[in-house]
């Protein structure tokens, strides 16, 4: 059986940073309200001519460089996004064309904020099945394009960005005990109305805007994340103190605090980027991962627990040794 080992990661954030104060000039909100309810201070917003594939490509190039791998060595690209450049083709194929690796499979995964966790699970299964050796997994979003900038209950929460990792197949044992230990995915479509976009090619013919029942999402996120984190630990016969780093989806600091508290994890072991990135949906976990790897917090051999919850609802976790 093959194992998926992380060999590199990368990220890209659009240049334009928008603070809460700047938002408060056009939206009826305040820095105090946003910080107290969410922990968000800033978010990055893509330039008018920047698309999700541009962000994804930049993160991919960064990840390949950190892996010391040429794009030509890839044999699969999986890209998680809920904000593709176009309805079709998959944004992954646009990234593939720019990387110059025609011929290998490339496709998108749509699980909104859980997208990167889903994409990692898909990539891991390709590797375990012996169908891929070197896989580029990307989470990339331009949520600014699907926000109703007049709805203060949603527009203050999200940002744009991209993160990526490179996975390499290693025969069990060849990379020590490094690599993905297990993946855990869930969905419950009965909760559609609590978090969705009110448009789409088959309904309105427009891209639509994000709609959310914030309190309901909060309540389910806290419960589902606690449950999937427990599931990941149990599957590996581990206690929470075996985790070196919690790398959570960055939607809201209060949700993250809740999960960390359940795990009895001190805040020093939680990677937090929500203050500077806001919620970047499928990009948030790889962006946080990249930050903690780049600044030397996450080291080879560390046990990391990644988790996310998003529209659908979808939720999941990946336990891995970096
Ligand atoms: N600025 C100022 N006031 C705001 C505001 C804003 N940006 N957004 C909402 N308010 C107001 C509301 O209108 C409401 O006013 P009212 O009491 O006069 O009606 C008040 O603040 C409280 O709103 P409420 O929705 O009850 O706040 P909350 O404590 O639930 O916090 C969220 C709202 C969105 C921050 C919170 O519910 C949340 O984080 N939910 C999860 C969202 C999430 O993570 N989604 C992505 C999952 S992937």
Same domain, 166 and 189: no
Same domain, 167 and 218: no
Question: What's the confidence (pLDDT) of residue 91?
Answer: 98
Same domain, 147 and 222: no
- Nearest 10 degrees: Cα torsion 283, 288, 294, 295: 160
Question: What's the confidence (pLDDT) of residue 176?
Answer: 83
Same domain, 154 and 195: no
Select which of 191, 220, 249, 277 is catalytic: 249
| 153 Cβ inside 6 Å of ligand 1 | yes
Same domain, 201 and 165: no
3-state secondary structure of 134: strand
88: Cα within 13 Å, side-chain hemisphere: 4
- Whether residue 255 contacts residue 225, with contact meaning beta carbons closer than 8 Å, is answered with yes
List, for residues 25-62, the tens digit of each pLDDT value.
999 999 999 999 999 999 999 999 999 999 999 999 99
Report the separation in Å between the CA atom of 218 and the middle of ligand 1, taken as the mean of its atom positions: 10
For the chain, how many structural domains are there in total?
A: 2
What residues make up the domain containing 139?
Answer: 2-171
Residue spans of beta strands (DSSP E) within 58-149: 76-80, 106-109, 134-142
Alpha carbons 76 and 305: distance in angstroms, whole number: 24
* Residue owning tokens 């690599």: 179
Same domain, 247 and 222: yes
Question: What's the confidence (pLDDT) of residue 1?
Answer: 84
For this structure, is 249 an active site residue? yes
List, for residues 111-132, the tens digit of each pLDDT value.
999 999 999 999 999 999 999 9
Residue nearest to atom 36 of ligand 1 (CA): 214
| 37 Cβ inside 6 Å of ligand 1 | yes
| 114 Cβ inside 6 Å of ligand 1 | no
Select which of 113, 155, 191, 220 is catalytic: 113
For this structure, is 113 an active site residue? yes
Same domain, 256 and 275: yes
**Which of 139, 171, 203 corresponds to the end of one domain?**
171
Same domain, 11 and 55: yes
Q: What average pLDDT does range 158-172 have in this prediction?
A: 96
Report the separation in Å between the CA atom of 153 and the middle of ligand 1, taken as the mean of its atom positions: 5
Give the ranges where 236-271 is alpha helix by DSSP (H).
253-262
Same domain, 96 and 136: yes
Alpha carbons 271 and 269: distance in angstroms, whole number: 7
Question: What's the confidence (pLDDT) of residue 173?
Answer: 75
The closest of 223, 193, 236 to 315, measured between CA atoms, is 223
Same domain, 188 and 83: no
Same domain, 132 and 19: yes
Query: DSSP of 27-80, one letter per residue?
Result: SS--HHHHHHHH---EEEE--TT--HHHHHHHHHHHHHHHHT--GGG--EEEEE
Report the separation in Å between the CA atom of 213 and the middle of ligand 1, taken as the mean of its atom positions: 9
Same domain, 93 and 217: no
| 218 Cβ inside 6 Å of ligand 1 | yes
**Which of 171, 203, 230 corresponds to the end of one domain?**
171
| 125 Cβ inside 6 Å of ligand 1 | no
**Which of 120, 137, 171 corresponds to the end of one domain?**
171
* Residue owning tokens 């919620």: 279
DSSP single-letter state for residue 158: B
CATH number at residue 249: 3.40.47.10
List, for residues 236-253, the tens digit of each pLDDT value.
999 999 999 999 999 999
């Amino acid at each position: 059986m093959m194992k998926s080992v992380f060999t590199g990661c990368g990220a890209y954030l659009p240049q334009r940073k928008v603070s809460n104060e700047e938002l408060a000039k056009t939206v009826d909100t305040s820095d105090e309200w946003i910080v107290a309810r969410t922990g968000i201070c800033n978010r990055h917003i893509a330039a008018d001519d920047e698309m999700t594939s541009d962000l994804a490509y930049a993160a991919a190039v960064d990840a390949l460089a950190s892996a010391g791998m040429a794009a030509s060595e890839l044999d699969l690209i999986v890209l998680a996004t809920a904000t593709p450049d176009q309805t079709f083709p998959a944004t992954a194929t646009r990234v593939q064309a720019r990387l110059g690796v025609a011929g290998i499979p490339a496709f998108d995964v749509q699980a909104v904020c859980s997208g990167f966790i889903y994409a990692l699970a898909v990539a891991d299964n390709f590797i375990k099945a012996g169908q891929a050796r070197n896989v580029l997994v990307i989470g990339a979003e331009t949520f600014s394009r699907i926000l109703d900038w007049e709805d203060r209950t949603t527009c203050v929460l999200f940002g744009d960005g991209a993160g990526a990792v490179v996975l390499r197949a290693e025969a069990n044992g060849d990379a020590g005990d490094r690599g993905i230990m297990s993946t855990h995915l869930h969905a419950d479509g009965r909760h559609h109305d609590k978090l969705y976009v009110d448009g789409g090619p088959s309904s309105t013919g427009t891209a639509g805007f994000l709609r959310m029942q914030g309190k309901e999402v909060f309540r389910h996120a806290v419960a589902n994340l606690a449950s999937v984190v427990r599931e990941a630990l149990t599957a590996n016969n581990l206690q929470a103190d075996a985790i070196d780093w919690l790398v959570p989806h960055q939607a809201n600091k209060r949700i993250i605090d809740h999960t960390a508290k359940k795990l009895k994890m001190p805040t020093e072991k939680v990677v937090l980027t929500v203050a500077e990135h806001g919620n970047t949906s499928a990009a948030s976990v790889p962006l946080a991962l990249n930050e903690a790897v780049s600044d030397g917090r996450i080291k080879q051999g560390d046990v990391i627990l990644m988790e996310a919850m998003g529209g659908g609802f979808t939720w999941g976790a990946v336990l891995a040794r970096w």
